[in-house]
Structure 1
Amino acid sequence: MGERDLQVIPEPSRVAVETFAGRIHVEWDPDAAVTPMGQLPFFIEFLKVSGLFEALLADCPLRYASPNAPKVRDVLGTLLLSSLAGHKRYAHMTNIRSDGVNPELLGMTAVASEDSVRRGLAAFDETEALDWLDRHLGHITHPILALGAWILDTDNTVKPLYGRQEGAVKSYNPKKPGRPSHAYHSYFMGNTRLAFGVDVEPGDRHTGKHVAVGLWRRLDRLPRELWPRFIRGDVSFGNEAVMFEAETRQLDYLTKLRLTANVKKLIHRLIARGVWVDAGQGFKGCEGTLQLTGWSRSRRVIVLKRPIQGELLLTDGQLNLAFIDTEDGIRKYEYQVLVTSLTDEILTIAQLYRDRGDCENCFDELKNHWGWGGFTTQDIKRCRISSRFIALVYNWWSLFARLVHPDKHHEAITSRPLMLQAVAKQTSHAGQKTVTITSTHAKAYLVQAAMRELTAFFKDLARTAEQLGLKERIKLIAKHAYRKLLASAPILPSLKCLPAPG
């Protein structure tokens, strides 16, 4: 009688459920190989044909001494899948364990736990790990740099912190004043929106002179023929130290000046005597020369002004953003002052600086959709490693998304639902594996056609991939991905910009 009580009665696998459409039968199949990222196999093929993932594993400096330690491929593969899924916390990696398809396709034997990933990042030697990731960032960016002239956008962004992390310092924080933070010094390739590099520093190292340290270090390592046509930054880089270093290296620059007292005097002189020309987007421009206190030489300065209209006139917050003054007693103008070593006309210079706004979109995408705002640990070393790894995966995905849709850059908030997220089930029969994808996206039919074309391109590339090095393969892929951008104009626009429609 006692043994009868210990018997486990199996639960039925099918349950009848009454709905408004009538009775349905619901079944559970916990052993089915399914995934919420059903279109990821196409990205995995991109990684295999290009050789990017195998090259990353080949020289990985992560070494384990214990025979019970997880495999390096499993640790990096878990971090890769987590980044692609848009996770921001190590604890979110537990969700990947439900993926019964993609880990195997990446060659993984198991999904590493969140603790294994954290311990793996802690086991890295920091110098070796950062050099390793910078080297692989170069593998994806250097072949693209050789395609034509390009612009280097550089800036700093703030990552608020909520614990007692190393480097958490109270400093400049526009969104949450007084909140400790890390400073992310970021470098991007203009127009392509690829990350050229990133450095994580304590929150009080946020000024242009701090960002310039990593900027010059990266450029000095780069062959001169791959240097950008010029560097572009905000007001943090409009200082003597940055401009002098650029001039010493014979590198052009385009940046912005703070509206100090002497700069305002220049504006008033140009208002009185200057000749203002159209600068596009409703701006008028005038140029002059200026040598501020502390500058070693006089430099070309371009002043842009635009009348403020509508609700902006009633917004007191605009007074904190720019120098606004009344010129004719009726209209109010906002002013921007640019300093540059470029010789282009005012219209072109103004448009080139406005194009810098695309760099801010990269910050938003990487912080809010790729994990730069998360993956926080007590030590700053793992934050530095994870930020570079995320930038690397971001570049891989951006290049892949360009292959699928070469017309424009797709941010993660749109590219993941379109090109990644779909329900898929893997079945095996007669030694052949089949992945059946069901996408509910409204443009699923367009992606299906694009994926078919992309697979044909990969098959053509695979026929010659073994004879080509990694650099040559990436260059062929980049030419195909940016074919429309290269056909319409070089990576750096060289045509004169047209004014805004009147």
Structure 2
Amino acid sequence: MSKVTTVWADRVLRQVVGWVKVPVETTILRIFKEVSDAQISQFEALTHILRGQHWRRLLRSGKSKVGVQLVQWVDVDSTVDTVCGRQEGSAKGFNPKKKGARSYHPQIAFLAESKEILQAWFRTGNAFTSNGVVEFTKQLLAHLPNRMRIIFRGDSGYFVGDLLELLDTRGHGYLIKVKLKNLTALLAKQNWTAIKGQSGWEQCAFQYRCGGWSRSRQFVAVRMKQPKQVTGPQSELWDTTEYDYFCYVTTEPLTPWKAHKKYGERATCETWIEEAKSQMGLGKIRTNQFLANAALFHCAVLAYNTVRWMAQLSGNKTLCQWEPDTLRTYLIRVAGKLLTGNNQLRVRTPADPLYPQEWDDWVKVGLLA
């Protein structure tokens, strides 16, 4: 928070926005500590409202039809945010990098096409990956266009019957990695066929009903041969072939191999989470109060989305691909001079930027705002 106040204490920024001075960090933090549960809900709703306005503006400008497309892939994932201390709401839970350390466990939904955050929840550290995912998805669907069908893509932590039932009932789809205790034994019984052009790979598809489900669902799987080294005079008597299995439950008409490759695309979702955490401060600005931390978390979500939305409005494909830090380096942290003549405030910047087309497109978004 001290860095935030330092940036906004800059004389040029204060004159541009008309501020006399910037509150000190303790004052800003005190304001955040007065946030209520209802205001956190308003933060979540604000993200949806602004996104709807942005999608309509994109459509009117002809820059994108993301808001009117009938099918969209949505990547949902959770992330561990380790804390140093005993902040309210932090707890010991799943933490692969620092086992036993206290953390928060936010849950985030990304739109695969545009990399924007559709919805985010700030959760306690002992929340399991799928905790509240049904309510999370209901809230997400309520704020998306009714005509839009989403395809929920998630890891094995989201292999939850109630979630699949909700998506089936609402007419949406899913591609989720399967997590079952008897999965290897179940897959070993299936009829496998070789995948054309993929040496050592086999695939299968079958219907299966897990305990507690109201009906069976489509499972697809691939496996890769892993030769096991067995040495000795009787090694030829041993079955030396082992397999790595990859199994998914899905509603989409994809071959098992295509489903496996499509699921692999969600790896970029983890990259976007790291961008939001390390480059936009998502969950990194903290107080000792849970609701204040949740409010700061949602401010970071809005900041991340604002950068994404500006890049989309520019119509520049390069800007849409750049990370936030890249945008800062080449388009924001640039040399300039504030001119105050003729009762106007103008910022003069270098005439030969390193990326002239990206600079012009980025500035044009601000001028048209």
Compare CA radii of gyration and give the structure with the larger one: 1
Q: Which residue of 1 aligns with 2:307?
A: 397
Tell me the SS of whatever aligns to 1:306: strand
Contact in 1 for aligned 2:316/2:361 (Cα 8 Å): no
Cα distance change, pair 355–412 in 1 and its aligned pair in 2 (3 A): same
- The answer to whether structure 1 residue 211 and structure 2 residue 133 are counterparts is yes
Contact in 1 for aligned 2:47/2:119 (Cα 8 Å): yes
Q: Which residue of 2 aligns with 1:420?
A: 332
Deviations 1:78-125 (A, max 9, x none): xxxxxxxxxxxx122342255221233234332222112111212333
- Tell me which amino acid in the other structure corresponds to 1:428: T
Deviations 1:143-176 (A, max 9, x none): 5352312112111111112212111111111111
Contact in 1 for aligned 2:36/2:291 (Cα 8 Å): no
- TM-superposed deviation, 1:392: 0.9
Q: Which residue of 2 aligns with 1:431?
A: 343
Tell me the SS of whatever aligns to 1:202: coil
Cα distance change, pair 100–247 in 1 and its aligned pair in 2 (3 A): same
* CA distance, structure 1, for counterparts of residue 41 and residue 132 of structure 2: 19
Residue among 29, 35, 47 paired with 1:137: 47
* CA distance, structure 2, for counterparts of residue 193 and residue 282 of structure 1: 34
Question: Tell me, which stretches of 5 or more residues in structure 2 are unaligned?
Answer: 56-65, 230-237
- The answer to whether structure 1 residue 224 and structure 2 residue 224 are counterparts is no
- TM-superposed deviation, 1:208: 1.1
Q: Which residue of 2 aligns with 1:234?
A: 155
Q: Which residue of 2 aligns with 1:299?
A: 217
- TM-superposed deviation, 1:432: 4.3
- Tell me which amino acid in the other structure corresponds to 2:96: P
Counterpart mapping for 1:27-42 below 5 A = none
Contact in 1 for aligned 2:133/2:163 (Cα 8 Å): no
Counterpart mapping for 1:347-358 below 5 A = 347-358=257-268
Residue among 105, 112, 118 paired with 2:23: 112
Question: Tell me, which stretches of 5 or more residues in structure 1 are unaligned?
Answer: 1-89, 315-327, 463-502
- The answer to whether structure 1 residue 125 and structure 2 residue 36 are counterparts is yes
Counterpart mapping for 1:71-470 below 5 A = 90-127=1-38, 129-142=39-52, 144=55, 145-148=66-69, 149-226=71-148, 228-258=149-179, 260-261=181-182, 263-270=183-190, 273-278=191-196, 284-307=202-225, 329=239, 333-402=243-312, 403=314, 405-407=316-318, 408-438=320-350, 444-446=353-355, 448-455=356-363
Cα distance change, pair 134–94 in 1 and its aligned pair in 2 (3 A): closer
* CA distance, structure 1, for counterparts of residue 360 and residue 310 of structure 2: 14
What's the TM-score once normalised by structure 1's chain length?
0.63
* CA distance, structure 2, for counterparts of residue 418 and residue 284 of structure 1: 47
Contact in 1 for aligned 2:280/2:303 (Cα 8 Å): no
Contact in 2 for aligned 1:209/1:241 (Cα 8 Å): no
Relative contact order, higher structure (CA 8 A, sep 6+): 1
Contact in 1 for aligned 2:283/2:293 (Cα 8 Å): no
Deviations 1:372-391 (A, max 9, x none): 24111111101111111111
Tell me the SS of whatever aligns to 1:445: coil
Q: How much identity, in percent, do the aligned residues show?
A: 21
What's the TM-score once normalised by structure 2's chain length?
0.83
- Tell me which amino acid in the other structure corresponds to 1:337: C
